[in-house]
Amino acid sequence: MTAVPSLAEFSAAAESLVGVISHTPTELSRALSDVLGSPVLLKMENLQRTGSFKIRGASYRLAQLTAEERSRGVVAASAGNHAQGVALAAQSLGIPATIFMPLGVPVPKLLATRGYGAEVVLEGETVATSLRLAAEFAERTGAVLIPPFDHRDVVIGQGTLGLEIFADVPDVDTVIMGIGGGGLIAGVAAAIKQAAAAAGRTVRVIGVQSENAAAMPPSLEAGHPVEITTHPTIADGILVARPGGIPFEIIREFVDEVVTVSEDDMARAILVLLEHAKVVVEPAGAVGVAAILAGKVRGTGTTVPILSGGNIDPMLLQRVVSHGLAASGRYATVRVPLPDRPGQLARVAEVLSQVGANVMEVLHTRHGHGLQLSDMILQLSIETRGPEHTQLALDTLRAAGYEPEIVAE
């Protein structure tokens, strides 16, 4: 069993990373405080160098390499954040870096990794394939493999984030963050709980996983890491089928609770953060806020959700915002059967304008199963102020003689 890193080790790591990483801000969110009923402060690690917390663990791990190990270069596998962290850390230390990435990696993450000077190898359909190829490369060339979460040095580096939170928010009661392989939460939980104990206090730590990739609950129940079958999720940063063995042992001892959130929950959280905090956060980085909005976390004092990353593909962000609006009842697609006569579109638009519903998109078709020759279908995407306003728009259309129905997303 790997020894739990001590408070002294976390503190030494934090000292060694001064000037390498940014001390990211912690900002009060009045909107989320109102939801939870107690103060909520956002730890904005999405503003970290490379756009995520991963630079902490990567930098600390690479700093521990011997001169001989550095001369052999490093290799890693990732779909984004770990890749960027290793690439920048290696560039800063003058170490050659090779990064294996799957073919479907978002273009911004690919370009950023290359921009930090790493040699990127695009091969395979999944991160699992990239991991296998990276391990084979390390065996073949002697390069040092830098794991994304399952290494003690990586856990120590990520734990420096916990010390920052405790320094900036000494009255913190609860810290919430996402769990993928477990490196972040293992480090933060061990660091902040030891720091709090030294100050005569306690801090609650809550982990959050996507419902579609929740390997931690069955692993905790079994008492050892369990591999699950994952399903697609927008939270690719925490899409991990099996927790790391080293983080798992720490999580069992230091993490108080693990909850799950849905795709809709994450989309709503991203939207709330955009509108109220004015920050861009990737789905995996927004799961703590998602848990608050979904009522999965109780307010017992000052709560700090970690916004662990902000590297979201612009095209995904566009889809997530639309989905978040729909999940919040502020965006709906409405199907309206109409007689195929001139002026029908204008009449429907006029009815909707009477209640202030904003028509965003229109699809007009005369083709479809069950349509008579004299019929047509009008499909409208409308923006409203919320579920009650959407219902008012539907009721007004019905009062005008139409038969609207909501089209499921």
- Measured CA to CA, the distance from residue 252 to residue 157 in angstroms comes to 19
For the chain, the distance separating the N- and C-terminal CA atoms, rounded to the nearest angstrom, is 47
What is the distance, to the nearest Å, from the Cα of residue 172 to the centroid of all Cα atoms in its chain? 22
DSSP 237-267: GG--SS--HHHHHHHHHH--EEEEE-HHHHH
Percentages helix, strand, coil for the chain (3-state, rounded to 5) are: 50, 20, 35
Confirm whether 54 is a catalytic residue.
yes
Which has the closest alpha carbon to 349: 377, 382, 384, 388?
382
- Measured CA to CA, the distance from residue 170 to residue 228 in angstroms comes to 37
Tell me the C-alpha to C-alpha distance, in Å, between residue 321 and each of 90, 237, 305, 309.
35, 18, 20, 17
Which has the closest alpha carbon to 55: 95, 91, 96, 86?
86
- Measured CA to CA, the distance from residue 343 to residue 11 in angstroms comes to 71
Which has the closest alpha carbon to 53: 243, 282, 255?
282
- Measured CA to CA, the distance from residue 142 to residue 137 in angstroms comes to 8
Q: Which of 54, 109, 193, 296 is catalytic?
A: 54
Q: Which residues pair with 10 in a beta bridge?
A: none
Please answer whether residues 44 and 24 qualify as being in contact, where contact means their C-beta atoms are separated by less than 8 angstroms.
yes
What are phi and psi for residue 232, nearest 5 degrees?
-55, 140
Place of tokens 């996983």: 209
Burial (Cβ within 10 Å: 0-12, 13-18, ≥19) of residue 12? middle
Write the secondary structure of 151-178 as one string of H (helix), E (strand) and C (coil): CHHHHHHHHHHHHHHHHHCCCCCEEEEE
Q: Which of 29, 59, 92, 308 is catalytic?
A: 308
- Measured CA to CA, the distance from residue 353 to residue 337 in angstroms comes to 19
Identify the DSSP state of 371: -
Which has the closest alpha carbon to 267: 303, 315, 321?
321
Active site residues: 54, 308
